[in-house]
Amino acid sequence: MDQEILRENDTEQKKRLVNEMQIVFESKSENEGFARTAVASFIMPLDPTIDDLADIKTAISEAVTNCVIHGYEMRPGKIFLDAAIWDRTLVLSITDEGRGIADIAKAMEPMYTTKPELERSGMGFSFMEAFMDAVEVESAPGRGTRVIMQKAIR
């Protein structure tokens, strides 16, 4: 991506930390709406545009849905959502401890899906990349996946 993800351990950036939160919830489809609403409420002090809200909520939906369907394969598990505001930039981290991704580059290709029987479009990562300023994926088979996304609120 064009922009580098802001990191907590960067002391210069840490000076600009405005707010942060962490939520842990069950890997159930119905919690996708909860995650969207929680982050939308969290960023309200930045006075985001309707378009910014829609973009962020769509990216969150895709990341949480990936945790539920691919990470845990519809089985019980925990999803960890971390959000931080650095000046006027939102940084999100959505993590599962599920099956992980063997080939991240392949998984991020548009139209690639491991669940065609569920009528998955394979566009989740593409949507995240389209609606956010930066997206990184960290994963290891058997150890889970972490998606880090960033968006400036102007």
Both structure tokens of 130: 């389209």
| Percent of the chain's residues with pLDDT above 70 | 83
Q: Is 120 labeled as catalytic in the residue annotation?
A: yes
Instruction: Please say if the pLDDT value at position 3 is more than 70.
Output: no
> Of 120, 136, 138, 143, which is the active-site residue?
120
Q: Is the pLDDT of residue 152 over 70?
A: yes
Residue 103 has a pLDDT of 84
How much is the pLDDT for 1? 38
Evaluate if residue 151 carries a pLDDT over 80: yes
Q: Tell me the domain boundaries of the chain.
A: 11-152
Q: What is the pLDDT of residues 76-93, one digit of tens each?
A: 999 999 999 999 999 999
Residue 14 has pLDDT above 80, yes or no: no
Q: What average pLDDT score do residues 15-43 get?
A: 95
Q: Is 154 a catalytic residue?
A: no
Catalytic residue (one of 31, 66, 99, 146) = 66
Q: Is the pLDDT of residue 26 over 90?
A: yes
Q: What is the DSSP string of 75-128?
A: S--EEEEEEEEETTEEEEEEEE-SS--S-HHHHTSTT--S-GGGT--S-HHHHH
Distance CA 116, CA 98 (A): 19
CA dihedral sign of residues 37, 43, 67, 126: positive
Considering the candidates 62, 97, 99, 146, report the single residue annotated as catalytic: 62
In this predicted structure, the answer to whether residue 9 has a pLDDT above a threshold of 70 is no
Nearest in space to 60 (alpha carbons), one of 26, 103, 91: 91
Average pLDDT over residues 67-74: 92
Q: Residues with Cβ < 8 Å from 57, sequence gap 6 or more?
A: 36, 39, 40
CATH of domain 11-152: 3.30.565.10
Q: Write down the mean pLDDT value for the chain.
A: 89
Read off φ and ψ for residue 70, nearest 5 degrees. Answer: -95, -45
- Is it the case that residue 60 has pLDDT exceeding 70? yes
CB atoms within 10 A of CB 33: 13
Two structure tokens written together for 54: 């829609």
pLDDT in tens, 95-144: 999 999 998 888 877 766 666 666 556 667 888 999 999 999 999 999 99
